[in-house]
Amino acid sequence: MFLALRPEKASIAEISRAFGVSQNHLTKVVHHLGKLGFIVTMRGRGGGIRLARAPATIVMGDVTRKTEPSWTVVECFDKERNTCPIANAGCGLKGAVAAATAQFLATLDGYTLEDVLVQPRKLRSVLKLPDSEAR
């Protein structure tokens, strides 16, 4: 969201300060998002990060699917590690959780990064970014 509100390049340090998160953790997130093609990273003097494409083209469901390491919400989703004694005995939890997960992702598929910037001026203010209508 920070990069969508600030289309020119930004630094990890700026984003870290704005959200109060560790630079070390954020560096890992930025690296991963860069590998996935959501952001562009520029190294060296004058480097920084920016979105790889327009916020209106970044679907939140796509970001969520690609950044979540596992959708094994309940143990029985993992056939190799499942030790639940009722997994194959008529338990309906697996189906319910699978349906809920599918609905969750389907809902996120209906939103882009631009859509979640509901109040850009307020967000810029909270993040201490210059007030600008350009995204």
Average pLDDT over residues 5-24: 94
pLDDT the model gives residue 122:
95
Cβ neighbours around 90 below 10 Å, total: 6
- Average pLDDT in the 26-40 region? 96
Q: Tell me what the mean pLDDT of segment 105-120 comes to.
A: 97
- Whether this prediction's pTM lies above 0.75 is answered by yes
pLDDT in tens, 54-71: 999 999 999 999 999 888
Taking the C-alpha atoms of residue 116 and residue 36, their distance in angstroms, rounded to an integer, is: 20
| The pLDDT value given to residue 75 | 84
Of residues 84, 111, 16, the one with CA closest to residue 2:
16
